[in-house]
Amino acid sequence: MEWVIKEEDFNVPIKSWCAEVEEGAMLQAKNLARHPLIFHHVALMPDCHQGYGMPIGGVIATRGGIIVNAVGVDIGCGMIASKTNFSAKDLDKSTLDDILTHIKEEIPVGFKHHATNQDWVGFNVAPDIEIVQQELESAKKQLGTLGGGNHFIEIQKSSTSEELWVMIHSGSRNFGYKIAEEYNKKSIALCAKWHSQIPDKYLAFLPIDTIEAQEYLVCMGYALKFAEANRDNMLSVVTEILKNVLNCEVQSYANIHHNFVALENHFGSNVYVHRKGATLARKEQLGIIPGSMGTPSYIVEGLGNPESFCSCSHGAGRKMGRKEASRTLSKEECDNAMKDISFVGWGKDRKGQIDLGEAPQAYKDIDTVITAELDLIKPIVKLQPLGVVKG
């Protein structure tokens, strides 16, 4: 842990594994420390940066209610990773590019969906709640799609054994966004109705004994299952591609979430732990902490540190926003950062300008992040990127 602060008007202290927290994220952390539902302390992971209402890379526990924006709009966003029995030494660039081409042909990215409905047993047991039913038909074509932003599919190699790995970052697609949007509106309305004393309207909450809170938990749980199935679906596609091209076997490793809320016991109390851009890191639990598209990622093992509510970072964390990156970075320096990694090049934003928002330089140094949380996790495998498909 880097530091602890508690100001006079805080209900709880802030404990940070991030040495220098940007101004916007710090303001959000202080608002959380003043929140009427907050329990014990606010925990900031080393990848902490400003989010919507609550910092991304933040962990809080509450009693008596759920803060929708402390989970975020991409409910169930997370990681899946698998290793193969194929040596990266035997993979030439032409074959790697062929694999990436097959992936892009078979897995829709960005705003693209499948042309036909996808099979998943979960569609048959969807909650009979309006927002879920409203999105259900669309979701049948979204299952097995990557999405945009920082979502990715990477082909990687172990830095020690040279084993080839696959890593995928994606979430619940439009399900998570619509559920968060719906219940955030309801939380704002309820807090206004009851004149709740909250430090920021973006930290409105759903009292746990309300129908709205119980519905949100059901919807969120369903979005988590969908997100997990979404990653499984894409991994199955990539696995078949690797088997066909490389004649290798793929061993599933871990499938985890980093945007969710769960009822857990901490410091002697049953509380609702919100992890927004943070990963569960119970003792000996496997985790995945990716870097940027041009830097290493880590497979880790949790140490179960109670001070972080048994959590760790979910990635490297941004050091500049997407617009700032596109405004201040040059294509040449970003190309140079990706010179040894196969990828399709930079996309365009809605104005048709080159989008450098996912360039490696837009993110914090992953090794610095890992070093800052060695009391939370133990690194198991360091993975170097070889090729990447971005959303």
Domain span holding position 190: 77-253+285-310+363-390
Residue 134 in domain: yes
Q: Can you give the length of the chain in residues?
A: 391
> What's the structural domain count of the chain?
1
Residue 91 in domain: yes
pLDDT value of position 61: 98
Residue 326 in domain: no
Residue 328 in domain: no
Task: Tell the burial category of 244 from Cβ atoms under 10 Å away from its Cβ (0-12, 13-18, 19+).
Answer: exposed
Which residues form the catalytic set?
A: 314
pLDDT value of position 353: 83
Strand partners for 60: 274
State pLDDT tens for residues 13-42: 999 999 999 999 999 999 999 999 999 999
pLDDT value of position 210: 98
State pLDDT tens for residues 285-315: 999 999 999 999 999 999 999 999 999 999 9
Residue 113 in domain: yes
Residue 236 in domain: yes
pLDDT value of position 268: 98
User: Which residue stretches of the chain have pLDDT < 50?
Assistant: none
Q: What is the CATH number of the domain that holds 100?
A: 3.90.1860.10
pTM, two decimals, is 0.96
pLDDT value of position 310: 98
∠ CA 254-78-85, nearest 5°, is 35
Residue 139 in domain: yes
pLDDT value of position 117: 97
Residue 382 in domain: yes
Phi, psi of 378 (to 5 degrees): -120, 120
